Structure 1
Amino acid sequence: MPTFTITTTGDEVAAAFAQEIKGKNVLITGTSINGLGFEVAKTLAKYANLVIITGHNNERLKLSEEALKKDVSGANIRPLLLNLSSFDAVRKAAAEVNAYSEQIDILINNAASSLCSFKLSADGYEHQIATDHLGPFLFTALILPKILAAKSATSTPRVVFVASGAHAWSSGVNLDEIEHPNQSTYKGMTAYAQAKSANILTASELNRRAGGKIYAYSLSPGAVATNFVSNEEAYPELLAHGVITEDGKPNPNAPFPWKTLQQGAATIIVAASDPSLNEKPGCFLSNSVENNAGVAPHTSDPVTAQKLWELSERLTGVKFF
């Protein structure tokens, strides 16, 4: 098996696992240009049978589709309108996926809200937890038949949740606040960290409940100067936490190393394709390798994972298994 490090690129990973990616149908949420999802889509499209990209508005989605087809000659790209902050929009998108003739071999839940001031989703939940956790939870559940259809004697479908090392910047998920948003205690970075904790907990619990029918993984791609970092609404929080400088640029003195888009994409592609991970289902990855030790204690508790799962099923009105 190849050896990967913090500087490994997505192209290097994809080339190493080209045979594992070949013929696969991949669905990636959140594929805006200059984002990690777009970079992953561009890299996987060189080998995959089909790459389904998503965006929350038609204009951005069209730009991503055109750019990908220009960058990767002959790529099979299919756009899907998906607004994860609205349960109704999620149900509509899932119905479209379920009408496809193709199965879904790999689902990469990458889309996330920018850091933002307190606001509610269309369904009355805090916007970041709705977009980063509840929406993806519902979407994954609704297209589960398409994912399970990819199971064979030689291949197990994968569901990947793109989290963040910043999950450790809070005390973990607050189940009561997920159900009952509280503006008086809201802090943007805390909400972001909580949502990323939810991603990690959901991956581990999905893997447990799937019983080998699906392999689920979560990961930190590392710090990358994507649209997330340049978003104007996120500026005050990112500046306060030393992520950016006053001019809005990535802080070279931040307490973590910055990666390029290709380096950030690498861990996502490892989670989606590395065959050695068949022996490590449910694990957390960073810097393109398994790193369960990198998960904060409040986000590695199986009891919390079960409670979050049960709450998420109740709030979204779905059952996985």
Structure 2
Amino acid sequence: MNATATKAGRWTAADVPDQTGRVAVITGANTGIGFEAAKVLAARGATVVLACRNPDRAGDALTRLTASAPGARVEFLRLDLSSLASIREAAAELRGRHAEIDLLVNNAGVMWTPRSTTADGFELQFGTNHLGHFAFTGLVLDRLLPVVGSRVVTISSMGHRTGQLDFDDLQSERSYGRHRAYAASKLANLMFTYELQHRLETAAAHTAALAAHPGGAGTELMRNSPPLIRFLNPVFGPLVTQSAERGALPTLRAATDPFARGAEYYGPDGLGEVKGFPKRVGSTARSHDKLAQRRLWQESLQLTGVTFPV
């Protein structure tokens, strides 16, 4: 561990252990915290698979990654999390390339979008942020299970704190609010993590499920912010946001810290978890509701048609 980081009590990218020989798959890694996490993992020796929707943007990301870490092993995998057909195709392609996977980071997401639906008719935010990652994880999990120390890290948000799941209206067909739907999807990310960890423990698997959130990271997710927030952001943004590079640290800690354990949740250590260095943080009582976790799992199985090997 980096001596300076240890002395200050701050975990930084310098604390990421050597990743040589490991295969890391990161969804939405062409930009934002996904790209920053990929850059660190590639520089530490991992083979990093950028699972992204847009080939052109992914190609640009690959170029930037190899420029920042000459000799880095990086790959592109086309994945559209708003389409179950694309998810199945991507999973099959990934399984064909790699017999074992050490790390899956469920990072991609959409935020505060006007109401629309995925290719399969799911509300876009819930369908992409939760159901898309649920399906993709289920389809590739058997590549992680034999690998000692393998992890599934799912990115949630401070927004989960206001999240509620209406099991009678998961697709927001009766009533839609863009902020409410986002919060529900981020709550679902945590509930999925905790239920997956329970099932992994029951199966005595080598894999652990963890979660992280970036705090107030300045990324492209903010493009759907209300006009007033976009107007005020140049003045007040620096007070409540941090760089994507700093925002990626909770992800990296959950993914690589040898002392991190299943069902742990990492976020910034600053006031309100908005900014700072990564530490273990808590989540709402709703996220720990075991009956709701199991119900969400069963609903997700039915909606996606994907089964899990645990």
* TM-score w.r.t. length of structure 1: 0.86
Output one character per residue of 1:61-108: Cα deviation in whole Å (capped at 9) or x when no partner: 111111111121111000000000000000000000110144110000
Matching residue within 246, 250, 253 for 2:231: 246
Q: Which amino acid aligns with 2:71?
A: G
Question: What's the counterpart of residue 262 of structure 2?
Answer: 281
CA 1:251–1:245: 2 relative to 1, 3 Å: farther
Question: What's the counterpart of residue 212 of structure 2?
Answer: 219
Q: Which amino acid aligns with 2:288?
A: S
Contact 1:235/1:248 (<8 A) preserved: no
Contact 1:4/1:289 (<8 A) preserved: no
Question: What's the counterpart of residue 159 of structure 2?
Answer: 166
Distance between the aligned counterparts of 2:51 and 2:176, measured in 1? 29
Indicate the SS of the match to 1:78: strand
Contact 2:16/2:252 (<8 A) preserved: no
Unaligned runs of 5+ in 2: 269-277
Distance between the aligned counterparts of 1:5 and 1:266, measured in 2? 18
Contact 2:150/2:208 (<8 A) preserved: yes
Contact 2:214/2:267 (<8 A) preserved: yes
CA 1:164–1:68: 2 relative to 1, 3 Å: same
The CA deviation at 1:248 is 5.1
The CA deviation at 1:51 is 0.3
Question: What's the counterpart of residue 42 of structure 2?
Answer: 45
Matching residue within 143, 146, 171 for 2:143: 146
Matching residue within 252, 257, 264 for 2:247: 264
CA 1:6–1:222: 2 relative to 1, 3 Å: farther
The CA deviation at 1:252 is 3.9
Query: In the alignment, is residue 311 of structure 1 matched against residue 306 of structure 2?
Result: no
Question: What's the counterpart of residue 16 of structure 1?
Answer: 15
Identify the range of structure 1 (195-204 vs 283-292) with the bigger mean alpha-carbon deviation. 283-292
Question: What's the counterpart of residue 275 of structure 2?
Answer: none
Query: In the alignment, is residue 25 of structure 1 matched against residue 23 of structure 2?
Result: yes
Question: What's the counterpart of residue 297 of structure 1?
Answer: 285
Q: Which amino acid aligns with 2:187?
A: S
Indicate the SS of the match to 2:225: helix
Alignment of 1:54-93 (within 5 A): 54-93=51-90
The CA deviation at 1:169 is 2.3
The CA deviation at 1:217 is 0.6
Q: Which amino acid aligns with 1:263?
A: R
Indicate the SS of the match to 2:152: strand
Question: What's the counterpart of residue 94 of structure 2?
Answer: 97
Between the two structures, name the one with larger relative contact order (CA 8 Å, sep ≥ 6): 1
Q: Which amino acid aligns with 2:35?
A: F
**What's the C-alpha RMSD, in Å, of the aligned pairs?**
2.2
CA 1:250–1:110: 2 relative to 1, 3 Å: farther
Contact 2:17/2:257 (<8 A) preserved: no
Contact 1:148/1:157 (<8 A) preserved: yes
* TM-score w.r.t. length of structure 2: 0.89
Indicate the SS of the match to 1:251: helix
Query: In the alignment, is residue 189 of structure 1 matched against residue 189 of structure 2?
Result: no
Contact 1:121/1:130 (<8 A) preserved: yes
Identify the range of structure 1 (263-272 vs 45-54) with the bigger mean alpha-carbon deviation. 45-54
Q: Which amino acid aligns with 1:18?
A: P
Contact 1:158/1:272 (<8 A) preserved: yes
Unaligned runs of 5+ in 1: none
Identify the range of structure 1 (40-49 vs 188-197) with the bigger mean alpha-carbon deviation. 40-49
CA 1:77–1:250: 2 relative to 1, 3 Å: farther
